[in-house]
Chain A
Amino acid sequence: MITTVTGRRVLALTAAASALALALAGCSRGGTPSDGGETDGPAAASPGITDTTLLFGINTPLTGTTAGPGNCTADGAIAYFGVKNAEGGIEFGDGKTRTIEIRTYDDEYNPEKSASNFNQMVADGVFAAGLGLGTPTNRAWRDAAAEEGVPQVLVMTGDPIFSTREDGYMTLGLVPTYMQEGAAFGEALVADGQPHQVAVLYQNDDYGKGYVQGFKDAIEGESNIEIVKELSYEPTASSLEGQITELAATGADVLFHAVSVTPLAIADLQKVIALGWKPIVFLPSNTASPGGILTPAGVTGDTFPGVYSAGFAEAAAAPPFAESEAGQAYFEAIAEYVTGHEQDGKSFPHCVWSWMGAQILEEAFKTMTEPTRESFYEALTSITGLETDFGFGPIDTTVDGSPAVQTVVLQKFNGAGYTNVDVVG
């Protein structure tokens, strides 16, 4: 008897649930309104842009081990557009003045979070996204962005795929590729005209291989440069003393040191000094900091015949920066608009890069003639000769395969900071 009653209840409730389900299924999904693409009037505005505002998304690591540089990738743009918004906004190419709203998304340097953040950005209706840090975290939503037609621009990764123009993809890199940095050193070495023997140590991934590739391309066919030995290591290695000793034994007069791990870079330089080896040293931009790498390693201005690095923006930590007018405006904006955590705008170079990225975005906003993503991307990839506050050369976004910032300058360590030079020697 009880079973029957229970059975009836189950039946009744299941029926009710089914009815509910049918009712739910009856209401059609809130479909997208037809995009009146065939009308003759001005093009329909893309999502995320109104007559007074534009929403830009930054998907970057804000927490976790990469949080320091990650926060910086957002802070520079937040500060820059904070100032512009306070002045009333930016006048776009279509004659309307809009304020720029930045929304940040924390991906924890996790590709899965990053891809899921992109879905959230689409739901939030961002007009365009970018400036975020990281190769895998940007790769994770590159195809999705292409599918949704969202521009993924000025991303901070040396991965050349973002700067390669490809049908259906609206992507652009901001920072020079690893290859460009390696090439800058190679060219300067060639220009020196003296015979050089080069010992190469590189990280066995896209980072290290990129540097070496750029360097090799630059010295190809030049008789005065010879690579005498190439050694690699895995990023997880705990010591490179063996490699350094082996390279020192070649007696090469140049050490090309494509190492990205800070403790390894310090230990390597200490080992070079201990061995009495005195090569010209090339360091990648992220492991060349005077305070973070050279001083702890005991390198002074005359330890080596020369310590070189490649750079593409002024260092906020260097004294001349804070004394310049643009530098003061930068620090004031950071202090005023960046909130919520301790960011001084100079612990990581990414804050300055983000500021430069914001200037490039502003230029694209000023020249886009229609409130659409296509018009924005076209404007963004047609910029030439734009001078940014802290870059070493004009911005040129028109070259297929090159990121927005192309001017890479060779810098020589002078005992306290870096000065720009043209040739090695």
Chain B
Amino acid sequence: MNAVVEFFGRTWVRGVVLAIALVVLLVLPLVSDPHTNQTISHIAVFAVAVLGLNIVMGYTGQVSLGHIFFVGLGAYCAIIPIYYWWGGSLAEGAIVIGFVLSLVIPGVVGLVVALAAVRLRGLALAMVTIALPIIGVPLAKRLGDLTGGNEGLSIRRLAYEGSDGETYRGNPFGAPSWSGLDNDQWQYYLAVLLALLFFALAYFLVRGKFGRAFAIVKANEAVAGSMGIDPYRYKVLAFTISGIYGGAAGFLYVVVLQYTSSETLSFGHSIELVIATIVGGAGSIVGSILGGAFYVLVPQLTNAWGLSQYTLVAQGVIILLVLFLLPGGLASLPRVIRRLTGRRRGGQHVGSRERAESTSGNTKN
């Protein structure tokens, strides 16, 4: 066991594992059935959402209970330009505008909210962040002419006028004919490749200068201040980045679902994201993927096993098991195994590495 763990600890092995994972991710949609592709695309959406929450909660240690607001806002920013402009003179440009807006607007809103909110701490900050989805839902309904309100906007069979004046129906995220792909494969590539891009950016962010600053702010704000790191500035930065990631998840949401409504912003889903973050592993890149998988797969499995009335019970059991057995989330499983095997053998080498990893905080994966 120990040898296996050590084998996978080597840098080159990790590189190869990553390369194989990438190749499998790229080839898989060509051979698997549509539902598998759709499921993985869904996981990509929520993995990015959980990653955004992780940046502010896991890495910087600030409570955010309103993250779904950024996801829903991003979804609106993505879908509205497409809904009103796609197929017209702007053509595919509407999608590009939607993508840019879905990053910029949630980012700006995150910045503005954070400027005021992060002066607070703990429960007070949690209360302020709760306000976002609570305001968001009625606001989206009030702006029903733009957002479609409770009934939402669907772009899967969007009517548009062709150059010959006839009305056509098309899906902005349908596979273009040159690709030779099915819709589910095309959406898979869009969602998974964009998600990979955002994960790569986050990986370098949390390992670099900013990541170290976030970790110190999380550990002790006074110490951070004494080292010349302004906690306020870095907390605002973390919230802003988190907002951008939420918005990106919102764009992916539209890519995968081609629908959004005011219900997307609902507060309950925000708590589900927090739970997914904890189950996956706070402050962990791999944990974000596991959190997204938890969010998507548990309801699917309970449906498939004919236990659809027990979705919440199943989620509750998993949360309790994780909290008791793996307080660091599912992502900490290899470390726990390493610690257990290391202790049994009294392995000095492994034990010291474990200590080194757990104290550095921001180098977990």
Interface residues of A, Cβ cutoff 8 Å to B = 6, 9-10, 13-14, 17-18, 20-21, 24-25, 27-30, 62-65, 71, 103-106, 108-113, 115-117, 119-120, 122-124, 135-137, 139-140, 142-144, 146-147, 159, 161, 168, 204-206, 234-236, 340-341
Contacts and interface: CB of A to CB of B under 8 A. Distances in A.
B34 A205 contact: no
B24 interface: yes
Contacts of B23: 17-18, 20-21
A208 B281 CA distance: 44
A109 B149 CA distance: 15
Question: Which 10 residue pairs are nearest across A and B when measured between Cβ atoms?
Answer: A123-B35, A143-B156, A106-B308, A136-B261, A13-B16, A136-B263, A63-B312, A6-B12, A21-B27, A119-B38
Nearest to B38: A119
B25 to A, nearest CB: 10
Contact of A25 (B31, B35, B154, B258): B31
A6 B300 CA distance: 41
A17 B19 contact: yes
Interface in B1-39: 12, 15-16, 19-20, 23-24, 26-28, 30-35, 38-39
Interface residues of B, number: 56
Contact of A21 (B24, B39, B142, B144): B24
B257 A14 contact: no
B152 A25 contact: no
Nearest to A339: B309
A112 B264 contact: yes
A108 B299 contact: yes
A111 B20 contact: no
Contact of B257 (A24, A140, A205): A140
Given A116-B38, A119-B34, A139 B303 contact: no
11 contacts: A10-B15, A10-B19, A62-B308, A104-B306, A105-B308, A106-B308, A108-B299, A136-B263, A140-B261, A142-B154, A161-B151
A111 B264 contact: yes
Interface of B: 12, 15-16, 19-20, 23-24, 26-28, 30-35, 38-39, 42, 134, 137-138, 141-142, 144, 149-152, 154, 156-157, 253, 257-264, 266, 268-269, 296, 299-300, 302-304, 306, 308-312
Contacts of A29: 30-33
Given A71-B309, A120-B304, A143 B296 contact: no
B259 A143 contact: yes
Contacts of A115: 257, 259
A137 B154 CA distance: 12
Residue of B24, B144, B266 most packed against chain A (CB within 10 A): B266
A106 B263 contact: no
Residue of B16, B264, B296 most packed against chain A (CB within 10 A): B16
B27 A24 contact: yes
Given A13-B16, A143-B154, A27 B42 contact: no
A159 B27 CA distance: 42
A205 B264 contact: no
Contacts of B35: 119-120, 122-123
Contacts of B34: 119, 122-123
A120 B29 CA distance: 16
B322 to A, nearest CB: 20
B299 A113 contact: yes
Given A115-B259, A116-B296, A136-B151, 18 more contacts: A13-B19, A17-B16, A17-B23, A21-B27, A24-B31, A29-B30, A104-B303, A106-B302, A111-B257, A119-B35, A140-B152, A147-B156, A205-B141, A206-B150, A206-B151, A236-B134, A236-B137, A236-B138
A194 B266 CA distance: 46
Contacts of B24: 21
A311 B325 CA distance: 53
Contact of B303 (A13, A106, A204): A106
Contacts of B308: 62, 104-106
Contacts of A10: 12, 15-16, 19
A113 B266 CA distance: 13
Residue of A65, A110, A137, A159 most packed against chain B (CB within 10 A): A110
A117 B303 contact: yes
A116 B42 contact: yes
A106 B149 contact: no
B157 A340 contact: no
B7 to A, nearest CB: 12
Contact of A135 (B151, B260, B304, B309): B151
